[in-house]
Structure 1
Amino acid sequence: MKRSQRQAQSGATAVEFALALLLFLTFLLGIVDFSRMLFTWSAAQEATRAGARYAVVCDDTLQQAQVLSKMQAMLPQISTINVAWLPVGCTSATCEGVSVTITGLNYRWISPIAGLAARAPIPMPTFSTFLPREVMRQDPHSASICS
């Protein structure tokens, strides 16, 4: 009798392990996804800063496409930016600074559990950086960023 009870319960350990593993992997994938989202957030902030620095240090006649390509080197998901010299219509002598803004950045989950709940991408906030005129063409390393 004892032998048949032991045989009947021998598969219970494997089932419990499978359930615990499923729970553990769900949490692990959630942590990885959340970490990726924080990395994307941080990279978007840094790309905005780098784009503003590139625009203010190199030349005030830069086109948005040139700034966008520099920013996409840091975060390829960036597709829409706005480069605004302030005040509008200023010249290099009268500009107060430059503002670079990222809009329309979305984050996609890789976790299948989170993916079932939210198939649509998660919109991230607008990232913006303003650099004042006082740093225009004042960087001694401007040749390295402008090339």
Structure 2
Amino acid sequence: MKKQSGATVVEFALVLVIFLTFLLGITDFSRMLFTWAAANEATRAGARYAVVCDDTTKQAQVLTKMQTMLPQISAISLAWAPAGCSAATCAGVTVTITSLNYQWISPIAGSVKLAGIPMPVFSTYLPREMMRQDPNSAAICS
């Protein structure tokens, strides 16, 4: 019996390491799903801002509005349809997140790929009929 006095502590330590690995993996996966959903919502909000505020030149302001929802967004593109239109003649806008990397927090996965995992391209299109129509308020443009 004396030879097995520390066996329980060793078994507990081994199980704890496995349990914490699974827990960090679940947490990281949940964060990745949250980032995915927030990127979808940020593109929708960016397209809405671009369309409602009726401005075809202020890509930096659209990026700033999108970064309030997801600070990791570093680059976007605005594509007005048809190309080269003015605010009065545009048919709609497509907002696309062109560069978004997900950063792991767990030390095992984080050390494997320090630059992050590239997320897919997120894109939203809103038609011209939405421009300058905000029934609740025009506060989005300020």
Report the TM-score, using the length of structure 2 for normalisation. 0.94
Alignment of 1:124 onto 2:123: no
Q: 1:116 & 1:20 partners in 2: Cα distance?
A: 22
Q: Which has the higher helix share?
A: 1
Give how far 1:61 is off: 3.4
Give how far 1:97 is off: 0.3
Alignment of 1:110 onto 2:105: yes
**Aligned to 2:24, which of 25, 29, 34?**
29
| Change beyond 3 A, Cα 1:142–1:90 | farther
Corresponding residue of 2:47? 52
Give how far 1:62 is off: 4.2
Corresponding residue of 2:90? 95
Tell which deviates more after alignment, 94-103 or 46-55: 94-103
2:76/2:97 contact within 8 Å kept: yes
Letter in 1 for 2:34: F
Alignment of 1:42 onto 2:37: yes
Report the TM-score, using the length of structure 1 for normalisation. 0.91
Matched residue count = 142
Alignment of 1:7 onto 2:10: no
2:56/2:86 contact within 8 Å kept: no
Gaps of 5+ in 1: 1-5
Corresponding residue of 2:77? 82
2:97/2:122 contact within 8 Å kept: yes
Q: 1:80 & 1:92 partners in 2: Cα distance?
A: 23
Q: Give the CA RMSD over aligned residues.
A: 1.2
Give how far 1:12 is off: 0.4
Gaps of 5+ in 2: none
Corresponding residue of 2:67? 72
Identity %: 75
Cα deviations by residue, 1:47-79 (Å, 9 ceiling, x for unpaired): 000000000011223410010010011111111
Tell which deviates more after alignment, 34-43 or 55-64: 55-64
- SS of 2:125's equivalent in the other structure is strand
Q: 2:105 & 2:97 partners in 1: Cα distance?
A: 23
